[in-house]
Structure 1
């Protein structure tokens, strides 16, 4: 079983590519000030949207329940630690990928 942290910065908005197992995904994080949460969009290496508008919350798998179910197993991507804010993202919490 593989498991590792995905590097994120304490910023209100960021877009980055992450190698998750055998797949490279683009992850977009955008702070929603009114709701005080991060909105997450995840795209495949080809730019196909896998999920959009998910909320970054501790313990929630951002890759769960993709529809239609992909032919590729993307694993899980979960925030561990404190609820994220622009000041503590990647400091008091971690974005963790696992192939389980």
Structure 2
């Protein structure tokens, strides 16, 4: 299990970074969406130039990439609902590696 680093605040409204998740170097694109009724963050993930998931909303309480079948494991977003200023402060994005069958 690994916590993906997320940064809050207006200066981080558009974040780009990469994290090694097991055997996969994953590039993250995380953007604050301000035109919705409630604050929201959207995430794209890319491996080797191939987009694995696009437009994933960071909502607490679930494996947010489960329906994408990325093969990289789970990403669970936990904590409070997001705002511009609490991303990575009152909530976390946690990577859980895939289960290896023996």
Q: TM-score w.r.t. structure 1 length? A: 0.83
Q: Quote the Cα distance in structure 1 between the aligned partners of 2:41 and 2:54.
A: 12
Deviation (angstroms), 1:33: 0.6
4+ residue stretches of structure 1 with deviation over 6 A? none
Q: Quote the Cα distance in structure 1 between the aligned partners of 2:53 and 2:72.
A: 12
| Residues 69-98 of structure 1: per-residue CA shift (max 9 Å, x gap) | 45xx30111111111222011111111011
* Cα-Cα RMSD: 1.4
Structure 1 spans left out of the alignment, 5+ residues:
none
Q: By percentage of residues, which structure has more helix?
A: 2
Alignment partner, residue 20 of structure 2: 19
Deviation (angstroms), 1:63: 2.3
3-state SS in 1 of match to 2:83: coil
Structure 2 spans left out of the alignment, 5+ residues:
none
Deviation (angstroms), 1:4: 1.7
Is the contact between residue 56 and residue 65 of structure 2 (CA under 8 Å) also seen in structure 1? Answer: no
